[in-house]
Structure 1
């Protein structure tokens, strides 16, 4: 599991994330939801050690992320942030191979190549593996980044808004593939997302944040209630019975 105890990050005198006390269970998909500026991405990147907490303790699978050597943490968790700045003249296969760096240190073995091929196939990227990133659509490129993370072969996968800039078709495809990664590959997927209906349909657990704090946690059934959603998002909601579960109506 992932545990945060008393975790705080101060951006300024006016902007502070935390203190956050949170347990994210191992297995399945946990969605971090909430309005813009709620602190979702900051919490995710602190867990992924892309930025340091000012106070508190974060453990992943029993390991303190601030004390465990980077190479060991990189074999336990992988993270994809919102902004990716890879050279566009990389091919898909070259990009995905970066996910093996904690294992290969740049010298790919046959086992590394197998992991790369499996991640490419899992995200249905076989026809594009020799294309350059700037030759792909936004959806294809986003799948390539997720394939890179999966190739790292970690138990914990952290994704910061992977649905950004994806249309409805590709958003659905992405969430189905992440659901498969949790179910078929046994990964623990933690994903920052905005669409509460996607979170309710695909996630096992929902963590809602607001004003830098955790304001609600629970199963989709526990979160998908008008009074709970209104507390989280500060706007009126109706929740209706859809063909595959509850749907939030907020327009």
Structure 2
């Protein structure tokens, strides 16, 4: 389980994450939603130790992320940031292979290569596995980076806006694959999402942030109510149920 206790992050006089305490379930899909500037990505970056905490503590399976050796943390938790820039010219297969580094130390075994090919297959990247990243569309590169993170084979998978640059077809495919990773492989997948409907349709647990604080925690049925969403987004949102899923279909 991932637990944040009284976590805050300041940039000068600006408090971006304000005394947040929460627990993320050990299994399933958890989505972090909220308006722009709510502190979603900052919170995810502190959980993964990409950003230092101004105060508080984050525990991953009772291990303090600020004190745990990097190689030990990398075998439990994988993170994909929004801004993924590489200076080296790599193929898709090269990039995905990097996901095995915490296990292989740069010397991939037969088992490591099986993980690489499996991740490439699950993200539908076989036709472009030999191509260089700078030859790909933004959506193709995004899928390659997600394959790299899944290839790391950690229990906790943290993804910051994984649907960026993806069209509707590939966004749905991505969410289905992440849902499968949670269900079939027993992983805990934690996402920062802007799309309310993707969060409601694919998540077991949803955390909504507003102005650096947690405004809501619960499941989709509890979230998808006009009065709850108004308190998060300052909008009246019409909610409908479609095939057992709650959908926001109109903003007024």
Normalising by the smaller structure, the TM-score range is over 0.9
Per the TM alignment, residue 123 of structure 1 is displaced from its structure 2 partner at its CA by 1.2
String of CA shifts for 1:7-32, please: whole Å, max 9, x gaps: 11111213331200000101110000
Q: State whether residues 88 and 133 of structure 1, in contact with CA within 8 Å, keep that contact through their aligned partners in structure 2.
A: no
SS of alignment partner, residue 154 of structure 2: coil
Aligned to 2:119: 119
Which aligned pairs between 1:1-251 and structure 2 lie closer than 5 A? 1-87=1-87, 89-248=89-248, 249-251=250-252
Per the TM alignment, residue 88 of structure 1 is displaced from its structure 2 partner at its CA by 6.4
String of CA shifts for 1:16-71, please: whole Å, max 9, x gaps: 31200000101110000000000000000101110110111101122111111000
- Please, which runs of 5 or more residues in structure 2 have no aligned partner? none
Alignment TM-score, normalising by the size of structure 1: 0.97
Q: State whether residues 28 and 183 of structure 1, in contact with CA within 8 Å, keep that contact through their aligned partners in structure 2.
A: yes
String of CA shifts for 1:220-242, please: whole Å, max 9, x gaps: 00000000000011111111222
Alignment TM-score, normalising by the size of structure 2: 0.96
Count the aligned residue pairs. Answer: 251
Separation in 1, partners of 2:176, 2:61:
25
SS of alignment partner, residue 50 of structure 1: coil
SS of alignment partner, residue 206 of structure 1: strand
Q: Which moved more, 1:101-110 or 1:23-32?
A: 101-110
